[in-house]
């Protein structure tokens, strides 16, 4: 899919909080090689630089649009275009950090053990993924697909459960981990603006479907989705729209 950094970063404050919460739980003291897997526009690099000033930072991402912004904003950092599903580091890394990316990949049962193996013994794998695919923000995408003339074209691209439950990841990783911490947090986002939940999702989960349509269907699809979301997330009296958003966190130390 193609990414639009401007749309994605409209909610950079709300998207930053879980990235910080993940980083706070990684106990690495002075890692030499730190990789941000699915680094997007490189917006988390200042956090990683501040936390580990001595580390060599590398950002990996598949999107040329995101990487163009990352390279422009962070000229001193190496960014590599690669498919995370096929990526292997030349040397095992000390911290492999991945925020809001791995839910875009299938095959977690082989992906996660392989990522842990890409970490040096004693190093850390740190992952955060959204897990609110049963919320109206995301079921609304399915409902729009299933109730429009685009159904046959878009339905094959629906991924029903991109992220499994916490137990699944514990069972996958514990045998190879010296330490393993897995938890979920539901953030209550209080968003401002017109139909802000639809705007939020438009920067991520909705985009691959919009990209597959031409006008006028594209606008009709978006209007249908926006109406469903607005019905499910009504503004509060002060104008804020409350958007509960659950996320899964994994911090594993390679044994």
Ligand X SMILES: C[S@@+](CC[C@H](N)C(=O)[O-])C[C@H]1O[C@@H](n2cnc3c(N)ncnc32)[C@H](O)[C@@H]1O
Tokens of 195: 């139909």
Q: Are the CB atoms for 74 and 42 separated by under 8 Å?
A: yes
Is 103 among the residues that bind ligand X (CB under 6 A)?
A: no
Q: List the interface residues with ligand X, window 14-53 (CB under 6 A).
A: 15, 19, 38-40, 43-44
Please tell me the distance from the alpha carbon of residue 77 to that of residue 131, in angstroms, as a whole number: 30
Instruction: Kindly tell me which of 23 and 177 has the beta carbon lying closer to ligand X.
Output: 23
Is 253 among the residues that bind ligand X (CB under 6 A)?
A: no
Least Å from the CB of residue 16 to ligand X: 8
Instruction: Kindly tell me which of 68 and 223 has the beta carbon lying closer to ligand X.
Output: 68
Least Å from the CB of residue 36 to ligand X: 7
Q: List the interface residues with ligand X, window 114-143 (CB under 6 A).
A: none
Least Å from the CB of residue 115 to ligand X: 12
# binding residues, ligand X (CB under 6 A): 21
Instruction: Kindly tell me which of 51 and 148 has the beta carbon lying closer to ligand X.
Output: 51
Least Å from the CB of residue 178 to ligand X: 25
Whether the upstream peptide bond of residue 76 has omega within 30° of 0, thus cis, is: no
Is 164 among the residues that bind ligand X (CB under 6 A)?
A: no
Is 96 among the residues that bind ligand X (CB under 6 A)?
A: no
Q: Which residues pair with 89 in a beta bridge?
A: none
Residue nearest ligand X, Cβ-based = 40
Instruction: With CA atoms as reference, report the closest residue to 26 among 93, 83, 111.
Output: 93
Instruction: Kindly tell me which of 63 and 132 has the beta carbon lying closer to ligand X.
Output: 63
Least Å from the CB of residue 128 to ligand X: 8
| Sheet with 78-81, edge to edge strand ranges | 78-81, 56-61, 33-37, 93-99, 119-130, 241-254, 177-191
Please tell me the distance from the alpha carbon of residue 24 to that of residue 183, in angstroms, as a whole number: 13
DSSP per position, 158-193: --S-SS--HHHHHHHHGGGEEEEEEEEEEEEEEE-S
Q: List the interface residues with ligand X, window 51-90 (CB under 6 A).
A: 61-63, 66, 83-85
Q: List the interface residues with ligand X, window 165-204 (CB under 6 A).
A: 204
Instruction: Kindly tell me which of 40 and 196 has the beta carbon lying closer to ligand X.
Output: 40
Instruction: With CA atoms as reference, report the closest residue to 180 among 127, 223, 137, 225.
Output: 127
- Exposure letters 162-174 (e unless 16+ CB within 10 A, then b): bbbeeeebeebbe
Instruction: Kindly tell me which of 93 and 178 has the beta carbon lying closer to ligand X.
Output: 93
Chain residues binding ligand X by CB under 6 A are 3, 15, 19, 38-40, 43-44, 61-63, 66, 83-85, 99-101, 104-105, 204
């Amino acid at each position: 899919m193609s990414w639009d950094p401007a749309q994605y970063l409209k909610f950079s404050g709300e998207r930053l909080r879980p990235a910080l919460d993940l980083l706070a739980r990684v106990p690495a003291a002075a890692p030499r090689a730190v990789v941000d897997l699915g680094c997007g526009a490189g917006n988390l690099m200042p956090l990683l630089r501040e936390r580990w000033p001595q580390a060599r930072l590398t950002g990996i991402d598949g999107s040329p649009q995101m990487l163009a912004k990352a390279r422009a904003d962070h000229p001193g950092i190496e960014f590599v275009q690669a498919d995370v599903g096929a990526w292997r580091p030349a040397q095992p890394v000390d911290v492999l950090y991945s925020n809001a990316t791995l839910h875009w990949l299938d095959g977690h049962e082989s992906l996660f053990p392989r990522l842990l193996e890409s970490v040096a013994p004693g190093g850390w794998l740190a992952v955060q993924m959204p897990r609110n695919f049963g919320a109206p923000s995301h079921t609304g995408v399915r409902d729009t697909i299933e109730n429009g003339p685009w159904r046959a074209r878009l339905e094959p691209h629906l991924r029903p459960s991109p992220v499994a439950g916490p137990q699944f990841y514990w069972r996958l990783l514990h045998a190879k981990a010296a330490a393993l911490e897995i938890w979920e947090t539901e953030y209550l986002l209080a968003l401002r603006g017109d139909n802000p939940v639809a705007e939020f999702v438009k920067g991520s989960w909705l985009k691959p479907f919009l990209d597959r349509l031409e006008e006028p269907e594209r606008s009709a699809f978006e209007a249908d989705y926006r109406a469903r979301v607005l019905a499910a997330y009504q503004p509060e009296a002060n104008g804020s729209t409350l958007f509960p958003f659950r996320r899964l966190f994994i911090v594993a130390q390679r044994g």
